[in-house]
Amino acid sequence: MFRRGLFSRAFRWIVAISLLALTSSLLAQKAVPAGVNADLPAGPMQAKATTACLECHEARIILQQRLSKGAWTKEVDKMTKWGAVVDPADRDALIEYLSANFGPEKPPYQPQKTAASIR
Amino acid sequence: MNRISMNSRRAFLKQISGAAMVAGMAPSILTWARAQEQVIPFPNEDGMILRSFRFIDLESPVEYFNSFLTPVPRFFVRNHMHEPSELDAAAWRLEVGGEVEKPLTLSLAELSKLGTHSVINTLECAGNGRSLQRPQVPGIQWGKGAVGTARFSGPRLGDVLQRAGVKPTGKHVMFRGRDEVPGKVPPFIRSIPIEKALDGDTLIATHMNGSPLTKHHGFPARALVPGWIGAASCKWLTEIKVLDAEFVGNFMSPGYRFPNHPVNPGDAVKPEDTHPLTALTVKSVIAGPSDGASLKAHQIVVHGTAWAGEADIAKVEISTDGGIHWNAAKLGHDQAHYAWRLWSYDWEPVKAGDYTIQSRATDSAGRVQPATPVWNPSGYLYNAIDEVKVHVS
């Protein structure tokens, strides 16, 4: 009896602490719902690509493309003309990063869905 | 996903929401639980394929194409830019100017006094089906669902233009919306020829399926250019300008143009060998059975929808033997000039096995869906014969 009471009290504390930790970590993310933001893949150009591209649009627009290096070159140059901040010294590396991660040979992109609202 | 895991997941969500309410932290816990399902919370949108969150681009799963009118929460959303951060119906004004005798400024109340006309229109993004092009081309990688049908209502654009008095020099009509443009991106402005603008079915739509437009669909007013590519129907309309020539801007050229002659997949096309996209082409999509489905023999209902822009659907045919034999599908009774036709075909497979079901539409202008996609550098107007692969046991 005593042992069971102790166990359930400890269990309740563990649950409460985990819920608190989870909530505070979620609140720390600028109140953006979890799962909404997608990231660009890791690599030497990840940070610069994030700054250059995701200022105007989100990562999914890039993640879903499957383009040749020639097509990525045109996209990078078009977007630079449209305001993407790309240091000329970084242009080739950015094209390389996008072509390596999002080339025609990569498996198809799997999109997410929005939650159901009609029952 | 089977029914049991779905139910237990719902039960889990229900339990966790109860616990969260007690702890006073419902929203974040629920959001977290939903993210675990790889589903993104999105108010007033119903199970849509998320192509982009910022800007918002949402696609309907083809399984939704089983009703003549598409409910607004299941209607695709295409944005080129950020949606307007502020939309005040009371402060909204529509400017009508350019090559007109008497420029106008209309409030929403004044606009609503100019009569209401309704058009049931199938709206399709010019890039619908882009992801199926080979080689792949840049742009939102739409599957088959950037299309939907709704009843759009509002005053005729022609009546508004008549009030302003179009001068003989007026040849094109330009629309400007309130999209918010990031960086140095050119604004989303396009124009349509005066003949289409004065057509009795071209509207300044304020309503969709009987309700005021929602924000994602252009509240409080949008152009509705029936039978034409979605990009012609500018959302969050604030300015209509009559021009003496086609508008010059990125979304007229190089955007939304089609090669004058067939090109080999992957080839570059010179700008002077292209023309602006206008009306949609002939197309059908299979809504069911779903691609990859396992079916029991007996009667299988193959069903879907077909549309042809400004033309009418003449017939839809189904093949289950790789295109050797084609059988007529039954067309649904609901029809309207610019709207799709639902269709169905009762199929009785004679033996078990793997099948490819194909659908092919023909329109009143004699156009037929091609067996291979008509490739072009931006992947517009994909309309190859549709197909799904199924297993019959």
The per-residue pLDDT for range B51-94, each reduced to its tens digit, is 999 999 999 999 999 999 999 999 999 999 999 999 999 999 99
Does B137 sit within 8 Å of A33, measured CB to CB?
no
- Return the structure tokens found at A16: 């409460």
pLDDT of residue B81: 96
Does B71 sit within 8 Å of A118, measured CB to CB?
yes
Does A61 sit within 8 Å of B140, measured CB to CB?
yes
Residues 6+ apart with CB under 8 A from B247: B172, B174, B189, B190, B191
* Chain A residues touching residue B70 (CB < 8 angstroms): none
Position B26 pLDDT exceeds 90: no
Q: For residues A33 and B97, which has the higher predicted lDDT (pLDDT)?
A: B97
pLDDT of residue B206: 98
ipTM score for this prediction: 0.88
Residues 6+ apart with CB under 8 A from B74: A118, B46, B47, B48, B60, B64, B148
Q: Which tens digit of pLDDT belongs to each residue from B380-389?
A: 999 999 999 9
Tell me how far apart the alpha carbons of residues B116 and B130 are, in angstroms, rounded to a whole number: 35
Does A33 sit within 8 Å of B183, measured CB to CB?
no
Q: What is the pLDDT averaged over residues B363-376? A: 98
Strand partners, B294: B391
Residues of A contacting chain B (CB within 8 angstroms): 16, 19, 22-23, 26-27, 33-38, 55-58, 60-61, 64-68, 71, 74-75, 81-84, 104, 108-109, 111-118
pLDDT of residue B17: 38
Position B32 pLDDT exceeds 60: no
- Asked whether B116 and B153 are in contact (CB, 8 A), the reply is yes
Q: For residues B31 and B153, which has the higher predicted lDDT (pLDDT)?
A: B153
Q: Which tens digit of pLDDT belongs to each residue from B230-289?
A: 999 999 999 999 999 999 999 999 999 999 999 999 999 999 999 999 999 999 999 999
**Torsional sign, CA B83, B87, B91, B93:** positive
Tell me how far apart the alpha carbons of residues B202 and B317 are, in angstroms, rounded to a whole number: 31
Q: What is the pLDDT averaged over residues B327-338? A: 98
Strand partners, B222: B205
Q: Establish whether the linkage from the previous residue to B254 is cis, with ω within 30° of 0.
A: yes
Per-residue CA distances from B133 to A73, B91, B153, B284 (Å)? 20, 44, 35, 16
* Chain B residues touching residue A26 (CB < 8 angstroms): 28, 31-32
Position B146 pLDDT exceeds 50: yes
* Chain B residues touching residue A27 (CB < 8 angstroms): 28
Position B19 pLDDT exceeds 70: no
pTM here is 0.87
- Asked whether B77 and B62 are in contact (CB, 8 A), the reply is no
pLDDT of residue A29: 37
pLDDT of residue A39: 94
pLDDT of residue A12: 62
- Return the structure tokens found at B295: 């079916």
- Return the structure tokens found at A74: 């045109």
Per-residue CA distances from B108 to B152, B154, B242, B334 (Å)? 16, 11, 20, 32
Mean pLDDT by 10 residues, chain A (119 residues): 51 56 43 71 96 96 98 98 97 98 97 87
- Asked whether B149 and B226 are in contact (CB, 8 A), the reply is no
Among A116, A10, A28, A98, which Cα is nearest to A62's? A98
Distance from CA of A16 to the nearest CA of B (A): 9
pLDDT of residue A117: 85
* Chain A residues touching residue B185 (CB < 8 angstroms): 56, 82-83
Tell me how far apart the alpha carbons of residues B329 and B324 are, in angstroms, rounded to a whole number: 16
* Chain A residues touching residue B137 (CB < 8 angstroms): 67, 71
Query: CB neighbours (10 Å) of residue A90?
Result: 16
